Amino acid sequence: MAAGNHSNTAGHGGSHFKKIRGGMVITMKKFLSVTLCLLMVAALVFSGCTTGGGTAGGAATTAGGGAAATTAKAAGGSGSASSSGAKKNVELQTWANAPVVNFFKSQIGPFSEAYPDYTLVVADAQNEEHDSVKQTRISAGNVDIVCFQQFGKPQEDWNKKYYNMPLWQQFIEEGLLLDLTNYDFTKNYIKKCLDDNSYNGKYYCLPTGTVALNGMYYSVEIFDKLGLSVPETWDEFINCCETIKNAGYGVITAGGADQWPLNMYASFIITSFYTEDECRQIGKDMLMGKAKYTDPFFTEAYKAMEQFASYLEPGVSGIMYADIAGRLVQGHVAMMCGHIPTTPYIVEADPNFKFGYFVLPGKTKPADGKPKQFAIKYDLTLCVASNAPNKDGALAFLEFFSRKDVYTAFVNASGFSPTQPDITVASEFMNSLAPHLVAPQMDYGNYSFSPKGIGEYGGAALNFFYLDVLGGPFSAKELAEKAAQDYTDALAALDKL
């Protein structure tokens, strides 16, 4: 859990940002797991985030700018940012997502021009290190803006016995994230998007975009050459794979060396096969011991996983996620696993390459005759640390980022679907997905829970790399049985506590 022996107040005297309904004091609980030594080391590491410098979490970039101060208004206030000598750093910590990180860095100059008092500093950590870096920086009190993915699956009364509190919720419970509910810039966002990421009716983050998940990239050239149409059912998808294979092409590539870019497709298969209500119910039933991995709901998905894995190109377990776009562009394969943020990598590899993206099909076509809808997740959210050394600067950046022109540029750079209304997306490709994003559902992963103390196989139940078709030790049936036993054992152990 994140830490910090700090206390602070929101909307403090002299702030340029005032709340709609008065001020609020946030008291942070003492955090026990971070030692004084760690805090001293972290403070030394992160205090030098200046131009050309770095952080333990990755490269940090700063820049200056000069222009007349612009007014920074929040509801009920009319404060302005005025130049007062030396610039103050606004420290933003995120994870390594090149299009997003590059966009933030591109806004260093424009932000300083709009708010001459401040200089944005952008640091990114590798995905697997981001949570620990974020915790360390908040503990040391040297970060202003931190990033999470979506605020999903909170610990609640019904699941508290079996389920660990997610990190974002721990941060809020410890008072480490600033309540943004009453700041004017939240009004720029679609209310449902804010509500989907709220906690106890309050907004602690800005959801910057949604991501279409359960799709497949494909080479238009190869599909046209083989006379293939976008498949609309699972059987049509398998027939498509067979045609590509028989024509001598590689069928599907994925970032197998990173594992997650492939493993997420196990969840996507479930999402494509079932409705959101069915996914929500099965997730709850699993945690309450009313369903098992050996039930038809999952065995059907395991069978589909085996089929899917059989069409992955040889050596997929050694292919890095960063290299898969090149595999598609160079014609080594006809299809590629990747959620929508993968698009910029394809464009970078070859701006003239013609590609499409279709929803991974379900067992049947939609009964209403309408286009199959994507599953989505909220991707990057922006939060302000309650103990931020430059809280006003952090709020200034959120206000700057939320401007329609800046946010539109962000959406076009990141490949996210917008969480603000009336945003014009420049990409013809992104606009082509619109019919499949009219009523998207949340991915099954948003409803699946791993109980405390889950064993190896239960915790990685939908893991392609345990399947013998990819060199793993188990058939789909055997993996389902192993996962079911681990899950049952974990619940039984918790019932005894």
CB-CB neighbours of 163 under 10 Å: 18
Q: Do 245 and 204 share a structural domain?
A: no
Can you tell me the distance from the alpha carbon of 402 to that of 399, in angstroms, rounded to the nearest whole number? 5
The pLDDT score that the predictor gives to residue 10 is 32
Inside any domain, residue 428: no
In a domain, 303, yes or no: yes
Sorting pLDDT into bands at 50, 70 and 90, what band is 146?
A: very high
Contact (Cβ atoms closer than 8 angstroms) between residue 13 and residue 162: no
Residues 391 and 479 in one domain: no
Q: Does residue 3 fall inside a structural domain?
A: no
Higher pLDDT, 50 or 82: 82
* CA gap 212, 339 in Å, rounded: 6
Same domain as 477, residue 330: yes
Do 453 and 468 share a domain, yes or no? yes
> What's the domain range around 227?
214-373+438-495
Count of domains forming the chain: 2
What per-residue confidence (pLDDT) applies to 85? 62
Query: In this structure, are 206 and 239 located in the same domain?
Result: no
Share of the chain above pLDDT 70, in %: 83
Kindly indicate the confidence band of residue 73, based on its pLDDT and cuts at 50, 70 and 90: very low
CATH number assigned to the domain comprising residue 61: 3.40.190.10
Write the DSSP string, 171-230: HHHTT-B---TTSGGGGGS-HHHHHHT-BTTB---EE--EEE-SEEEEEHHHHHHTT---
Q: In this structure, are 199 and 188 located in the same domain?
A: yes
Mean pLDDT of 160-164: 94
pLDDT of residue 40: 32
128 domain residue, yes or no: yes
Q: How confident is the model at residue 224 (pLDDT cuts 50, 70, 90)?
A: very high
Same-domain pairing of 259 and 295: yes
Average pLDDT along the chain: 85
Would you state the pLDDT for residue 128? 84
Residue 124 counted as domain residue: yes
**Are 391 and 450 members of one domain?**
no
Q: What is the pLDDT of residues 112-134, one digit of tens each?
A: 999 999 999 999 998 889 999 99
Q: Could you tell me if residue 19 is inside a domain?
A: yes
Joined tokens for residue 171:
């941060």
Average pLDDT, integer, range 351-361:
96
Same domain flag for 382 and 366: no
Q: Are residues 358 and 396 in the same domain?
A: no
Whole-number pLDDT of residue 31: 33
Signed CA dihedral, 274, 275, 281, 287: sign only: positive
pLDDT band at 486, cuts 50/70/90? very high
- 130 and 252 in a single domain? The answer is no
Per-residue pLDDT averaged across 78-92, rounded? 66
The H or E element that residue 492 is part of is helix 476-495
- Tens of pLDDT, residue by residue over 407-463, are 999 999 988 999 999 998 888 888 899 999 988 999 999 999 999 999 999 987 899
Give 277-321 pLDDT, tens digit per residue.
999 999 999 999 999 999 999 999 999 999 999 999 999 999 999
Same domain for 410 and 476, yes or no, is: no
If we measure between CA atoms, which residue out of 149, 200, 162 comes closest to residue 283?
A: 162
Main-chain phi, psi angles of 483, to 5 degrees: -65, -40
The answer to whether residue 431 sits within a structural domain is: no
Q: Is residue 425 part of a domain?
A: no
